[in-house]
Amino acid sequence: MDLLLVRAGLVVLSVALCGGGALCDQQYYSEESLRLPRIYEYDDFRTCRARYTDFVYCVSVVKLHGDGTNELWKNITHLRSNRRNFPHDRLERGLCLNDYHDAVKYNRQTSVFLDKYLTHKIFHQYGLESRTALEACWTRENFARSRTPGEVLFACIVVALFACTMIATRFDLNVGSTGAFVQAFSVRQNLRRLWEAPRPNALPFLDGLRALGTLTILIVHSQLPMIRMPVRNTEHLEAQANHALFPLINSGNTHMIQFFFTLGGIVFALSCLAHFERSPTFKLMYFAEKLLRRLVRLLPPYALIIFYQATWYKRVKQGPLEYKFNDYCTEHWWTNLLFINNYVLPTKPCLQFGWYLGADLQLFLIGSLLLTVLWMNPAARKTLVRAMVAAALLIPGYVIYAASTEATMSFDMRHALAELRTYDHFLKYYLPSHTNISGYFFGMIAAMYYRSIDFTHPLEHIRAMLHKRLNLSLIALFGLNAFTTLLPFVHIDKHNSTFNATYGSLLKCSWGCSYSLLFLVLALQGKSLFVNLLSHPAMQFFAKISYCVYIVQYSVIYGLYTNFPVPITYGAFNLLILTSAIFLLTLVSALLLYLAVEAPFSQLGNRCVTFLLQTRTTAQERESKQEKQW
């Protein structure tokens, strides 16, 4: 509980640092730097489109040049030397060309006109030379394109799904839930399943923790694109990024994903270990069945969202921010459906947040191999645990050392503006599954320990021991993360750095270890207000749609941001409005996706898997009888 409160506090603090304006009122800029060119200047796109029949709206990037004799250029050079600041030598200009040039027509001369106009304007205002690059232009033709076959097919699929749910629900209400189709697509039946209590042998509070974790991720992801938006008060964002506590907040945000890896590890291992106790004889088909049932649940809603991103999303984001939020689902959809998008083409992703699903499935396969060893040889438990702890410590450290990356993700405004797609540490250390094994392995180890407890004896000694270890783990966690506030002032050579490897590995492991101990403490705590709250049906309800929340959030967040009028003011009020709108739209969209796709296809898919397994078992029994007869 302490960790959850701390993490929630970090999220709130990250907004409060500058969103409320309290810290942003500091004299971060000198009087001279207040006369800096605005990084973002955008004419109103909607006004331009409504006012002119043949409107032409273009976005250009202006690259400034200067020399040492210009005081303003000295200021710009000083600010851009700190990589937590915006690149002040790179300006964005969104212009409604109809306001600046008569008889405008979008052609090859547009870039020439923009270069001359902006170069002259920048020199007249600031005495600086510049060069202009045209990013994109929009005309009425962009909004008058006919529907593509993919868009028509997607619309037909959505209509068919809606019709199936309506027909099944109407039949269920009037006749009753008879037949697989009605039971699968009936809204009433699926809502009832959402509110059902968890299985008796499960730890229901884990689903409550999953719900809280998903809420936290949704809130954080709702605010991240703000840094890439054209804002009037860029100095407030820079003041936040340069605050002394920001590295600590950034570390909490970076390692937040370890919560889900640890949770996935303990849930998967608990399920498997319970089965091993009931069926000591090893059967490879057990893991094959779990994989099939997992894919049956994951793939249908995932495929539908990817299909949407490849078709209709391009129409939703049309406007001056379109080029900022590129999505490559049209070309790279297959990397997501094969769950290899965290390794293959990560710089041009389809659904950027989807990397986690690839890593999670890969860790599921790794965990299956390890638990296979344990099932076949239960006496190897201690050896297996030692090997997992050693791998959790050594593999992340080796990657940091071999790839010569930083110990943890540091904040660089240039990387943030590029959605981290140019950040070496993000690509080589944050995304791969083998660098995230620590959280998953610690979760599995916690499950092994939990299943080994003899609940027929008093648990006071075990509870005291776990509380003590959790406190020690939290001390290590806070100490290691607090050190991130000193990293900006410590100059360490990244090339084959033993310090970076050791510190980075311990930092990541501290999160997985603390989470796993927290789960064990809550599991043995017995009845308490907090555990009861986590086990409430409302938390179970949200946990069951958390997968749909995760995969639909990207479409909602980016769709909303790309249609927001710019430039905007960065502050607590706008963040609250955007976060609230994204939160509500995501929940509604996720619930619809669950009711129309995940629940029905999961029901039908599991029936198919069960039928195939029964058919296989029957065939094996028939062959066995024939062999005995012979």
Q: What percent of the chain has pLDDT over 70?
A: 92
Across the strands, what pairs with 42?
94
Residues 453 and 487 in one domain: yes
Check if the beta carbon of residue 598 is closer than 8 Å to that of residue 297: yes
pTM of model > 0.85: yes
Residue 622 lies in a domain: no
Most confident of 150-164, 171-185, 534-548: 150-164
Q: Give me the pLDDT at residue 547, please.
A: 97
Q: What is the DSSP letter of 147?
A: P
Measured from the Cβ of residue 440, the count of other Cβ atoms closer than 10 Å reads 32
Average pLDDT on 283-298 reads: 95
pLDDT of residue 185 exceeding 90: yes
Q: Is residue 2 part of a domain?
A: no
In a domain, 525, yes or no: yes
- 312 and 430 fall within a common domain: yes
Do 530 and 518 belong to one domain? yes
Residues 6+ apart with CB under 8 A from 60: 92, 93, 95, 111, 114, 115, 118, 132, 133, 134, 135
Is there a domain that residue 25 lies in? no
Give the 3-state secondary structure of residue 314. helix
By residue count, the chain amounts to: 630
Mean pLDDT of the chain: 89
Residue 443 confidence (pLDDT) above 80: yes
Same domain, 373 and 454: yes
Residues 203 and 187 in one domain: no
Residue 158 sits in which domain range? 147-196
> Quick one: which of 116, 117, 108 has its CA closest to 137?
108
> What's 182-221 look like in SS3?
HHHHCHHHHHHHHHCCCCCCCCCHHHHHHHHHHHHHHHHH
Is residue 323 domain-shared with residue 385, that is, in the same domain? yes
Highest mean pLDDT range out of 15-29, 222-236, 436-450, 478-492? 436-450
Q: Is the pLDDT of residue 630 over 80?
A: no
Q: Does residue 151 share a domain with residue 82?
A: no
Indicate the number of domains in the chain: 3
Residue 200: pLDDT band with limits 50, 70, 90: low
Tell me how far apart the alpha carbons of residues 348 and 421 are, in angstroms, rounded to a whole number: 8
